[in-house]
Amino acid sequence: MTSLDGKSRLLLQYNTADHKGFDFNDLVLQTHSENGWTHDSTVWAGDADVSPGVTRWVSALDSMDDDRQTGVIKIATMGPPDAGGTSTVEYSWVRWDLVANSLLNTLHVCESPFDELPPEMR
């Protein structure tokens, strides 16, 4: 996802352990110059602030402010398994602080992993 001014972009980087699916790895901020795109910072490479047994990752990107301070991203949060071994995943669109790598506010809790961000929530 590229900023409106075209000078910055956020990338979701994935890896795969079993060569059958892709797993979120990093959220990366890049800057454009006359030499092309260069790595600026890794915004998210894990989530140490989540409770034990809870996994959280970035599942989609919506927008980034031109000041490169905040972005609107979709977060997936998987809770610990219940007694039957089933985990529940909640998806939500959030405003994310790209500098501090932290949640600013939740914009919309999704009913489905495929929910787009409603326009009135931007």
Q: Write the pLDDT tens digit of every residue in 7-62.
A: 889 988 887 776 665 678 888 999 998 889 998 888 876 665 678 888 888 999 99
Q: Which residues of 56-86 are buried (b: 16+ CB within 10 A; e: fewer)?
A: bbbbbbbbbeeebebbbbbbbbeeeeeeeee
Q: What percent of the chain has pLDDT over 90?
A: 36
What is the pLDDT at residue 37? 93
